[in-house]
Amino acid sequence: RYEIVQRETTLEILPGVRTRAWTYGGTLPGPTIEARRGRPITVTHRNDLPVPTVVHLHGGRTPADSDGYPTDLVLPEGWTEPTMGHGSGHGMGNMRDPHAVLSRRTRDYTFPMDQRPTLLWYHDHRMDFTAPAIWRGLAGLQIVRDDAEEALGLPSGSRELPLMIADRAFTAEGELAYPALDPTLRERPGVLEPYLAGVLGDVILVNGAPWPVHEVDAARHRLRILNASNARHYELEAVLDDGRRLDLVQIGADQGLLAAPVVHRLLPIAPAERYDVVVDFSAVPVGGLVRIVNRLGSGRTRDVMAFRVARAAADDSRVPRVLSADLPGWRRADAVRVRDFSFRAGQLDHGRGWLIGGLPFDPARSDVTVGLGDVEVWRMVADVHHPVHLHLVGFRVLSRNGRPPLPHDAGLKDTVSLRPGEAVEIITRFDGYRGRFLFHCHNAEHEDMAMMANLQVV
Ligand code: C2O
Ligand code: CU
Ligand code: CU
């Protein structure tokens, strides 16, 4: 049982600078929630912020009433605005959702945790206001563990490091700079239109700290990487002083361990994706620096963080050749249906935005209805880069542009990066819970500009 108070907090993010953030419990990121597979947990959220909020556990297999549907708002004390309080991002006005469940001040979210062990994250999910809420700080980690994974002998304890990577921009006064953080401003239609591509920052934060340098033993470390950026993509590499690059040995994807490790030199990571990676620092001379660099960045956004190898040390960790044997092996022939979706820019009521299948998000419309237990193939095409996320289920990548998936598509995922002009096929089985869920682009600005649709499991 956890209790989290969502509140405005003044933090020192940049050295010597005071920044007001919206936090889960006063820290940025919020508290890391530790869970065991099969042991349900309840998190009580209290909203002491000036705006309505919604909590979604990303990657959680969660019943619909705790999944954080974007209109199931937790209203702040004394909130009197029209209850939807949204519609600004894409100018849809005070659209009504007859199924919305409003809570006053607090709400209990219950997570069964009946799922593979992995790194999840919780974040705000309010309709049309997700991007500014996450930007202001509403994100935290949740880790699911089980005995089988712990028995593998992977690096653990101080050698297991969750890394939440996110870019931010700051004003001269030290405030988080976002085009429309002020909720009243966002009531103006189309306010985000100049930011169609998404909002980028020029400061890279890892676990809330700018470009941190972390001291490590000369031993294997497990880096559990999350790209929590609104819109920034990364291609990460681990570079030594002498220019050599260390292997990034991928052991897990969004939804837990791979069947077997996959070795990368360069690891692309789109918004909301997680990569579980082992890096061996034992070949680095003591005192040496390993920089984690984003090949897609330029200037200071090329640097992400660094590891200083502080001391020689014994290492009894292992990366077994077989990591897991429970990955679903759905085949095309198992699918009862193939669906097609386009992810493209388009016209909204007020200005431009982002559409799925030609339509903007509407909580009152039914988009996709699937049968509980059905296996389906989804074929998705993109105009520009869109990281597409499905709630409730994990899926496997079947193909990219008619060719086999890429090495980093391995394993069970909940977010897949559609690259510009690409057609990607995924396969999944819709099991877990009946009810109303979502799929959407996880470029947070695209999401706020209507690139989201309903997924009804019946
Ligand atoms: Cu991480 Cu629907 O979101
Ligand atoms: Cu999600
Ligand atoms: Cu997108």
Distance between CA 243 and CA 263 in Å, rounded?
19
Q: What is the mean pLDDT of the chain?
A: 94
Quickly count: other Cβ atoms within 10 Å of residue 210's Cβ: 16
Which ligand sits closest to the CA of 127?
A: 1
Distance between CA 214 and CA 201 in Å, rounded?
22
For the chain, what is the largest distance between any 2 Cα atoms, rounded to a whole number of angstroms? 62
Q: Which atom of ligand 1 is nearest to the CA of 121?
A: 1
Sign, Cα dihedral of 207, 213, 216, 218: positive
- For residues 53 and 47, the answer to whether their CB atoms sit within 8 Å is yes
- For residues 286 and 274, the answer to whether their CB atoms sit within 8 Å is no
422 backbone dihedrals φ, ψ, rounded to 5°:
-90, 150
Ligand 1 geometric centre to CA of 56 (Å) = 7
Ligand 2 geometric centre to CA of 51 (Å) = 21
Ligand 3 geometric centre to CA of 77 (Å) = 34
- Confidence (pLDDT) at 180: 67
Ligand 1 geometric centre to CA of 154 (Å) = 28
- For residues 351 and 396, the answer to whether their CB atoms sit within 8 Å is no
Q: Which atom of ligand 1 is nearest to the CA of 439?
A: 2
- Confidence (pLDDT) at 89: 46
- Confidence (pLDDT) at 78: 86
Distance between CA 305 and CA 167 in Å, rounded?
12
Q: Which residues line ligand 1 (CB under 6 A)?
A: 56, 58, 123, 125, 272, 389, 391, 438, 440, 442
Distance between CA 231 and CA 353 in Å, rounded?
15
| pTM for this model (two decimals) | 0.96
Distance between CA 227 and CA 197 in Å, rounded?
17
Tell me which residue of 335, 237, 218 sits closest to 280, measured CA to CA: 218
Distance between CA 387 and CA 422 in Å, rounded?
12
- Confidence (pLDDT) at 193: 76
Q: What is the dihedral of CA 363, 364, 366, 371, to 10 degrees?
A: 70
Compute CA distances 232 → 200, 260, 316, 352, 373, whole Å. Answer: 6, 28, 36, 21, 35
- Confidence (pLDDT) at 80: 75
Per-domain residue ranges for the chain? 2-148, 158-312, 332-457
Which ligand sits closest to the CA of 448?
A: 3
Residue 283, both tokens:
């070949």
Stretches in the chain below the pLDDT threshold 50: 83-94
Tell me which residue of 32, 450, 67, 70 sits closest to 226, measured CA to CA: 32
The residue nearest atom 3 of ligand 1, judged by CA position, is: 58
Ligand 1 geometric centre to CA of 125 (Å) = 7
Which amino acid is residue 104, in one-letter code? R
Pick the CATH number of 332-457 from 3.30.70.270, 3.10.150.10, 2.60.40.420, 2.70.98.20: 2.60.40.420
What is the CATH number that goes with domain 2-148? 2.60.40.420
Q: Which atom of ligand 1 is nearest to the CA of 440?
A: 2
Please report, in angstroms and rounded to a whole number, the separation of the first and last CA atoms in the chain. 30
241 backbone dihedrals φ, ψ, rounded to 5°:
-55, -40
Q: Domain 158-312: what homologous superfamily?
A: Cupredoxins -  blue copper proteins (2.60.40.420)
Ligand 3 geometric centre to CA of 390 (Å) = 13
Q: Which atom of ligand 1 is nearest to the CA of 272?
A: 1
Q: Which residues contact 138 (CB under 8 A, 6 or more apart)?
A: 6, 22, 23, 24, 30, 53, 123, 124
